[in-house]
């Protein structure tokens, strides 16, 4: 198992290198000059050129990339062009809020998806299946920003039950912190839960047709034992795969949701950095998200071994 983990980590190195090249190239294709924005619209060309030299933007792009990579390998992500605060410090300040929101959204998605997916599969072509299908279709069809605005209007402005935005402090006021977290977590987690629910239904329908399920029923096992003791456990492997894939969608959706709810996480930080043409901050933030996706995929691969001992033996190289 340790050898498998090390192999996967080594395979991640070229992925990170290619991702860093793509991130660097794309962000430099965005129109706008951070030196002009930092110097101000009334600055003379001489002042703007001096700012550009100070930022290192007067060098050719390959040189800029190599300088950024050399600093990054030493653990130095550079300083934000606009705030002059180290990028690592800004990411460290924003990461807890993103983890709090992302973890809550993922938990809500799983709690919503697994029961509804199993229910829809067991009651296929019956009213529970129809209701779940309609709800999942609506959740997938509504854009996240529109859903977030709608929830703010209903629960914050009209009913006044929940705050419209911001983040609470669990150490000072847990009740307010939970209330602040609920709307953005639902907005972020509902589309992911809907996609996972549909896949859970499909995976369960496929497993329920297998021979071992018919054998379990022939032995006289109860419906609950057949569904949860046999069918659901075997359906978990493809479900875990999709859950890992949806994690990338969760990170992408966080950019929009955090902006709608003024949530001080990495997603909002990326949006502000893009608007300000803050290259180093955007590059560091996106590279952190790519690393997170790679680690999540590794975790999913390890979970396969927990769910299926045959996969664990293959990962360990045993015969």
Provide block-wise average pLDDT over 10 residues at a time, the chain (319 residues).
Answer: 70 83 82 72 77 78 86 82 84 88 89 89 86 88 86 89 83 84 90 88 81 70 68 76 76 81 86 82 86 80 64 52
CATH number at residue 164: 1.10.3720.10
Instruction: Quote the CA–CA distance of 19 and 170 in Å, as a whole number.
Output: 36
pLDDT at 223: 65
Instruction: Quote the CA–CA distance of 5 and 42 in Å, as a whole number.
Output: 55
pLDDT at 319: 45
pLDDT at 186: 92
Does residue 152 lie in a domain region?
yes
Does residue 42 lie in a domain region?
no
Buried b (16+ CB within 10 A) or exposed e, 28-64: eeeeeebbebbbeeeeeeeebeebbeebebeeeeeeb
pLDDT at 309: 57
Does residue 163 lie in a domain region?
yes
Per the CB < 8 A criterion, the answer to whether 239 and 300 are in contact is no
Count of structural domains within the chain: 1
Does residue 74 lie in a domain region?
no
Does residue 298 lie in a domain region?
no
Residue 213 phi/psi, 5° resolution? -70, -45
Does residue 256 lie in a domain region?
yes
Does residue 46 lie in a domain region?
no
Domain region containing 148: 94-263
Instruction: Quote the CA–CA distance of 117 and 11 in Å, as a whole number.
Output: 34
pTM: 0.78
pLDDT at 4: 64
Nearest to 277 by CA among 20, 36, 87, 73: 36
Per the CB < 8 A criterion, the answer to whether 104 and 185 are in contact is yes
Does residue 87 lie in a domain region?
no
């Amino acid at each position: 198992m340790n050898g498998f983990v090390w192999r996967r980590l080594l395979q991640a190195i070229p992925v990170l290198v290619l991702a860093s090249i793509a991130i660097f190239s794309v962000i430099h294709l965005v129109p706008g000059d951070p030196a002009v924005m930092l110097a101000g619209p009334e600055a003379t060309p001489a002042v703007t050129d001096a700012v550009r030299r100070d930022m290192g933007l007067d060098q050719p792009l390959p040189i800029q990339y190599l300088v950024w990579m050399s600093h990054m390998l030493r653990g130095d992500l550079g300083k934000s062009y606009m705030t002059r605060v180290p990028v690592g410090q800004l990411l460290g300040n924003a990461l807890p809020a993103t983890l709090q929101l992302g973890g809550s959204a993922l938990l809500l998605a799983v709690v919503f998806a697994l029961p509804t997916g199993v229910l829809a599969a067991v009651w296929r072509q019956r009213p529970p299946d129809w209701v779940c299908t309609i709800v999942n279709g609506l959740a997938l069809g509504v854009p996240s920003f529109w859903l977030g605005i709608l929830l703010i209007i209903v629960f914050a402005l009209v009913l006044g039950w929940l705050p419209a935005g911001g983040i609470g402090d669990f150490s000072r006021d847990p009740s307010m912190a939970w209330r602040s977290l609920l709307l953005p977590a639902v907005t972020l987690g509902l589309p992911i839960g809907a996609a996972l629910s549909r896949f859970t239904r499909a995976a369960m329908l496929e497993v329920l047709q297998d021979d071992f399920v018919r054998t379990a029923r022939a032995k006289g096992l109860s419906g609950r034992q057949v569904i949860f003791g046999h069918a659901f456990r075997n359906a978990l492997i493809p479900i875990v795969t999709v859950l890992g894939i949806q994690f990338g969608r969760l990170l992408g959706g966080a950019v929009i949701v955090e902006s709608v709810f003024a949530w001080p996480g990495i997603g909002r930080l990326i949006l502000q950095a893009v608007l300000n043409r803050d290259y180093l901050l955007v590059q560091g933030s996106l590279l952190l998200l790519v690393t997170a996706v790679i680690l999540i995929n590794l975790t999913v691969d390890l979970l396969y071994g927990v769910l299926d001992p045959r996969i664990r033996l293959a990962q360990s190289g045993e015969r």
